[in-house]
A and B are shown apart, each in its own frame.
Chain A
């Protein structure tokens, strides 16, 4: 060492790992992609971009600009064609309706107060609030015939929806993975370190959790929590996802607790908690990190599945899963862009995150070198 650096801290595990990581080109590119998504999430969170995602800026199902407006106008005409059928409301009674007699009878039997006009739209307030929040004016402003990446059924910009969906999906993935890692690490540390009946207890707990089919477990927790929303999804995923991490951390603690450095810590009088979290934890933290990023990927996908099945985020939020859910019906009409946008964004992030995890594992595990 030179004199200039003799008082500097020597490279620890993380610095050495970072040096190894810098040579991993695939890892670096993945890291950049993940950073980009994180930046996107942050920007969307703070309202810098895509805050007006709910504005209905285009015509219904506006196609992407690069497919050309021709298709768009043809589609519009097609959509407008059936309208004359319903134009004249007064003709309705004139048409031969086989059920007209029955309907009249039913209407007559009802009390007059319960007229059709009095039925209240239960979502009206919510919708008004959403519209108000997103600052969209009424529908009569001019709508674009095409949007860059197309629009959805209500004419909302798919690009902005995807960005907003990125925010939701990534936040769910990160927060749920953090929760699962926290639970798995604490349970695993306690079980692996103390052994005996504490280990037995957590193993029973683990066995019960893993013996229930995963989707059913998720559905049952969703039923217990009984409300939709981002926090619910995070809780569902976090509370069910800790099992794998628990097993790994438990094994690591069992391995480390008999190491001599832990015995040495005992000899100098360090308490159990100190041995567990000050001495052993830094030695297994790389395992936690790798598990954490693996679970981020897993939970992003799980959120998509949950939202697709309808147990995911609420109607007033958009995530990749809810976009895919909408895309089901759109695809029947040949409107593929919402599906493509959500899938592309998810595939890119998940692949990059997976490769990044691999790179981290290589960098952090000196045995592989």
Chain B
């Protein structure tokens, strides 16, 4: 462990509140205090709304002046200077040089109109005061340091010519250009694929070691924390629930919330019948015993088949020149079978075509080739009128519960509409009763019927979306990243709900996700996709234990595994 006597930043009694309108204020951070030692990584962990990003913005002095107020006793000491009382100009100088930041979305943090070299050189010229030739040489060095291949040519590339991982590397290069003492990384890998995430995490750890700087790493993902942090601060609702060295947090968490966070995530090693949810811990309810029977997954091979997909293909065309067009194969030659009452997991990185498969199977996208056999009939060849009757029986739950519900409809309208379209139920009263029953089933109060989606949290909205699918009593439910946008604790609740519904109604799921741990927990069979093609398909226990294809192996080895005992040697460069 690092010596803790040398403190770089110390935060004391930080209070931040935002004014919502004339009368009400919302206290986002409620008097927190922690230290960032020199040459170490501190992880700030919490779910959305915990105040972790607000804390980072407060350190940088980037809180919006017009509607935020700081508590009178709040102090952020940086080498004995209170950052909250620095003059604007001084703070600005400090912000570029001593303290720098990388953001979640590399795509929107880089200016798309300038080359990455221009943007890097701008930083160097502004804060270090290098001449243009020196700055260019230095920029190339920096790009090489963050692992950009061929930095001499890539320096003249525009952001769109780089991949997401490379863009994040450029952002890191810009952040470390002025040799900062403190690097604040706000969810730097959340928007990236799992293999890229591993590279970026390794890079941050490596840069931190080499430059002996401090890193404040903000994330919601405890598995990532276990890989990178020395100290962990767990926040919830603007308060610190627990803080301490990473080993103690992972091995002997004191706080019930920390315990919950650690156990709510599905783990690769175990598959309990039901995931523990946060309330189990906060209410001190008897948690499931660790040796409770686990759910067994997998197909035996004699199950009834609901959907059989044969040689499915989907191409998109982009215009090229005056008359030409270029074909882009999003999905090519995909075949699989979905067993009744079972779950097929579909994993792959962004751009692998997994969502396109889901949308094409239920005819939300038109397929370019192939067949989808549902009860022996080809769905794709049906005229639209006939397909309508089958459409009802395959439903989809989308990724983002904030955009998949029409904001102008009440929950009642949302639930009643499918029944009205398909004439389910004999009259309005019966439909109303069915809607009320479904609300109860997904665990929402009956008063929700008259409310609008914006009055619900993300997890509740996802429940509403699930209830909307259930109104049509589908045989197949496609879950397209349905829990990816949710907080860890809410994720567990929704996964439990989906599992309960499958047990009760015997629905088949196509579970699409980039999150390999969730897929491992939910799926009987796993299908790995890469660049529009199926790489491997096998029973889920099989594929996680004995992956055959090199891509599957690479994917599985990239999963952050959390705390795995003390790290003796510095992490090898990725």
Question: Which residues from chain A sit less than 8 Å from chain B, CB to CB?
Answer: 1, 6-13, 23, 259-261, 263-270, 274, 279, 282-283
Residues of B with C-beta under 8 A to A264: 396, 398, 404-406, 465, 468
Q: Is the CB of A10 within 8 A of B395?
A: no
Q: Is the CB of A283 within 8 A of B408?
A: yes
User: Would you list which residues of chain B between 9 and 32 have a CB under 8 Å from chain A?
Assistant: 21-22
List, sorted by A's number, 7 A–B pairs whose CB atoms are closer than 8 Å.
Answer: A10-B452, A12-B452, A13-B407, A259-B403, A260-B400, A263-B359, A263-B364
User: What are the nearest 8 A-B pairs in CB distance?
Assistant: A282-B408, A260-B404, A268-B418, A10-B451, A260-B398, A261-B406, A260-B403, A6-B447
Q: Is the CB of B408 within 8 A of A268?
A: no
Chain B interface, >50% SS class? loop
Please tell me if B486 contacts chain A, counting CB pairs below 8 Å: no
The bracket for how many chain B residues form the interface is 20 to 34
With contact pairs A7-B450, A10-B451, A269-B392 given, residues A261 and B22 touching in the complex (Cβ less than 8 Å): no
Query: What is the minimal beta-carbon distance from A279 to any residue of chain B, in angstroms?
Result: 6
Query: What is the minimal beta-carbon distance from B25 to any residue of chain A, in angstroms?
Result: 16
- Selected from A11, A23, A266, A279, the residue in CB contact (under 8 A) with B406 is A279
Q: What residue in chain A is nearest B392 (Cβ atoms)?
A: A269
Q: Mark B386-411, 1 if CB is under 8 A from A, else 0.
A: 00100110011011100111111110
- Selected from B395, B407, B408, B447, the residue in CB contact (under 8 A) with A267 is B395
Q: Is the CB of B22 within 8 A of A23?
A: yes
Instruction: Add 17 more A-B contacts to A260-B404, A267-B391, A282-B408 (CB < 8 A).
Output: A7-B450, A8-B450, A10-B455, A11-B452, A12-B408, A23-B21, A259-B403, A261-B404, A263-B359, A264-B396, A264-B406, A267-B362, A268-B395, A268-B418, A268-B421, A269-B421, A279-B406
Query: What is the minimal beta-carbon distance from B478 to any residue of chain A, in angstroms?
Result: 9
Query: What is the minimal beta-carbon distance from B415 to any residue of chain A, in angstroms?
Result: 10
Q: What residue in chain A is nearest B387 (Cβ atoms)?
A: A269
- Cα–Cα distance between A259 and B407 once the two chains are bound (Å): 12
- Cα–Cα distance between A7 and B405 once the two chains are bound (Å): 21
Q: Is the CB of B421 within 8 A of A270?
A: yes
Q: What residue in chain A is nearest B450 (Cβ atoms)?
A: A9
Residues of B with C-beta under 8 A to A269: 388, 391-392, 418, 421-422
Please tell me if B255 contacts chain A, counting CB pairs below 8 Å: no
Residues of A with C-beta under 8 A to B409: 282
- Cα–Cα distance between A279 and B403 once the two chains are bound (Å): 13
Query: What is the minimal beta-carbon distance from A54 to any residue of chain B, in angstroms?
Result: 48
Residues of B with C-beta under 8 A to A279: 406
Residues of A with C-beta under 8 A to B21: 23
Please tell me if B417 contacts chain A, counting CB pairs below 8 Å: yes
Please tell me if B107 contacts chain A, counting CB pairs below 8 Å: no
Please tell me if B472 contacts chain A, counting CB pairs below 8 Å: yes
Query: What is the minimal beta-carbon distance from A38 to any residue of chain B, in angstroms?
Result: 27
Q: What residue in chain B is nearest A369 (Cβ atoms)?
A: B21
- Cα–Cα distance between A282 and B395 once the two chains are bound (Å): 24
Q: What residue in chain A is nearest B421 (Cβ atoms)?
A: A269
Chain A CB count within 10 A is highest, among B388, B400, B418, for B418
User: Would you list which residues of chain B between 464 and 504 have a CB under 8 Å from chain A?
Assistant: 465, 468, 472
Chain B CB count within 10 A is highest, among A23, A261, A269, A282, for A261
- Cα–Cα distance between A7 and B448 once the two chains are bound (Å): 9
Residues of B with C-beta under 8 A to A260: 398-400, 403-404
- Cα–Cα distance between A259 and B405 once the two chains are bound (Å): 10
- Cα–Cα distance between A23 and B396 once the two chains are bound (Å): 42
- Selected from B398, B452, B468, the residue in CB contact (under 8 A) with A268 is B468
- Cα–Cα distance between A283 and B417 once the two chains are bound (Å): 17
Query: What is the minimal beta-carbon distance from A141 to any residue of chain B, in angstroms?
Result: 60
Residues of B with C-beta under 8 A to A261: 403-407
